[in-house]
Chains A and B, each alone.
Chain A
Amino acid sequence: MDSDDVSKMFQTESEKLENLISNATAKSELSVHEIIKTYYQIMNVSSMITMLKPQIVGKPQSFLDKIQETEKIISEKFNSNLHPQIIEQLANSIQNTTKNLQSDSTGEKSKQDIENESNIYEELRQKMSTKEFVEQYDKGLSHD
């Protein structure tokens, strides 16, 4: 892969990330799928930056600018703003779902009721493991 290809690939991946962050910022609540997709892209682009930085000598200024701009987006828009909101959203959502499930334990339930409720439990498990994943990212930030 020559340096033009690398530059183009970085450009494409950074744009994908910017779109994901804009979409996420515009929404009041993100689905588990959207959260995972956004963090995956953050980690993807961050790894690219780590890999590209030592090779930056002799590359066009525009490429350097793009890396710096992307770093700024990750730091200011994502790490300082969106990421804490996502943690809060997940924590609130887990708390509310747990409360609802615990209060909904009265009376006899039909087979259908139990199996429908089982789907809500499955969503709760997904949210919990997503929260663990997001918290792992957070631990990485505090070590930076």
Chain B
Amino acid sequence: MIKELAKNLVNLKKEFAIIYDGKSQIQEVIPVSKSEMFPIKQQDLELLHQFATKNPIYYNSYEKTIGKTLCIVYEGDINKYWLNSIQQSSSRAPFSPTWIMSAYVGVLLAKDLGYQEVIDIGSGDGRIAFCAKILDLESYSIEIDDVLVDLQKLLTILDFHPYCSDAVIFDYSSLNLSQPIFFIGGLAQMGGTVLASSVLEKINSNSTLKKNTGWVFAGTYSQKYPPDPKNEAGWGTLIEKNNLKSIQTVSLPTVWTFHEPQETPYIFAQPVLD
């Protein structure tokens, strides 16, 4: 069901990208109601819409039927957050979000794999952590940029625990995690490897957490970036070095691939058990 949902979302994005004639810097869509293509609880969809409606990065929205699906199109602008993030020397990658629907599908897969807590690293506006909360998982949102954390605090319709902190020095033991999954923000080639390596090192220092923790990496097949010799959309070397194995990859729309033919592959990885 999750694979089908992801495929339908990608098709929806492709149709939307063809017909979209607006001029906004970022744009995304959320179906209005549950359907055969999007068998998502109506209550969940409504929370996703609330997240977008309350989110100041979006300045316009309107209804549009895309293919056979009635959607709300959200138009937004993240330029000022970009400018702020590039001026922070500690920030590893500028803010550029995944689609809200993609965050939902990604977390749905994490839940299906049996994880109980979602930790969104480099969480931007906190959408992944928010979706985890919708899906009844415990969630924590770690973001270094205080302007973005202030933005997250406007969006705690459900409390997804925004923390303004450097993920590299954050004390994860304070969260009492049992079976967590970490979503790492940023492509491998855009500082993601350094960020992920540091967080992996912290988690791997606790042997119980090490074997129970899952990892999700946002990858790319774009030729703009150098490929990883071990593949996995840029993450192969890190996966091998940390004794992880890729268990599933799901391709989903993101803001940065809106004009691209390929979506963002999310690599789900787990430790190789001895």
B60 surroundings in chain A (CB, below 8 A): 111
Complexed CA–CA distance, A71 and B245 (Å): 55
Taking the closest CB of chain B, its distance from the CB of A4, in whole angstroms, is 39
Complexed CA–CA distance, A117 and B59 (Å): 13
A98 surroundings in chain B (CB, below 8 A): 83
- Name the one of B23, B24, B75, B82 contacting A121, with C-beta atoms under 8 angstroms: B82
Chain A window 114-143, contacts with chain B (Cβ cutoff 8 Å), 1 for yes, 0 for no: 110110010010000000000000000000
B25 interface hit (Cβ, 8 Å): yes
A101 interface hit (Cβ, 8 Å): yes
A55 interface hit (Cβ, 8 Å): no
Complexed CA–CA distance, A115 and B79 (Å): 10
Q: Are B59 and A121 in contact (CB under 8 A)?
A: no
Q: Are A118 and B83 in contact (CB under 8 A)?
A: no
A111 surroundings in chain B (CB, below 8 A): 59-60, 75
Complexed CA–CA distance, A118 and B59 (Å): 13
Complexed CA–CA distance, A105 and B25 (Å): 17
A50 interface hit (Cβ, 8 Å): no
A3 interface hit (Cβ, 8 Å): no
Q: Are B83 and A114 in contact (CB under 8 A)?
A: no
A62 interface hit (Cβ, 8 Å): no
Q: Are B83 and A102 in contact (CB under 8 A)?
A: yes
Known contacts: A111-B59, A111-B60. The answer to whether A118 contacts B79 by CB under 8 A is: yes
Q: Are A118 and B80 in contact (CB under 8 A)?
A: no
Q: Are B23 and A115 in contact (CB under 8 A)?
A: yes
B79 surroundings in chain A (CB, below 8 A): 101, 117-118, 121
Taking the closest CB of chain B, its distance from the CB of A119, in whole angstroms, is 9
B75 surroundings in chain A (CB, below 8 A): 111
B77 interface hit (Cβ, 8 Å): yes
Taking the closest CB of chain B, its distance from the CB of A105, in whole angstroms, is 7
Q: Is the interface of B mostly helix, strand, loop or mixed?
A: mixed
Q: Are A115 and B83 in contact (CB under 8 A)?
A: no
User: Which residue of A is nearest B87, CB measured?
Assistant: A98
B residues 66-91 near A (Cβ < 8 Å) are 75, 77, 79-80, 82-83
Taking the closest CB of chain A, its distance from the CB of B60, in whole angstroms, is 5
A residues 37-76 near B (Cβ < 8 Å) are none
B24 surroundings in chain A (CB, below 8 A): 114-115, 118
User: Which residue of B is nearest A102, CB measured?
Assistant: B83
A115 surroundings in chain B (CB, below 8 A): 23-25, 77
Known contacts: A115-B23, A115-B24, A118-B25. The answer to whether A105 contacts B77 by CB under 8 A is: no
Complexed CA–CA distance, A105 and B83 (Å): 12
B77 surroundings in chain A (CB, below 8 A): 114-115, 117-118
Known contacts: A114-B59, A114-B77, A118-B77. The answer to whether A101 contacts B83 by CB under 8 A is: yes
Complexed CA–CA distance, A121 and B25 (Å): 10
Taking the closest CB of chain B, its distance from the CB of A22, in whole angstroms, is 35
Complexed CA–CA distance, A105 and B84 (Å): 12
Complexed CA–CA distance, A118 and B26 (Å): 10
* Pairs A–B under 8 Å by Cβ, sample size 19: A98-B83, A101-B79, A101-B80, A105-B80, A109-B59, A111-B59, A114-B24, A114-B59, A114-B77, A115-B23, A115-B24, A115-B25, A115-B77, A118-B24, A118-B25, A118-B77, A118-B79, A121-B79, A121-B83
20 additional A-B pairs beyond A98-B83, A114-B59, beta carbons within 8 Å, are A101-B79, A101-B80, A102-B83, A105-B80, A111-B59, A111-B60, A111-B75, A114-B77, A115-B23, A115-B25, A118-B23, A118-B24, A118-B25, A118-B77, A118-B79, A121-B25, A121-B79, A121-B82, A121-B83, A124-B83
Which 4 pairs of residues, A with B, have the shortest CB-CB distance? Answer: A121-B79, A115-B23, A118-B25, A114-B77
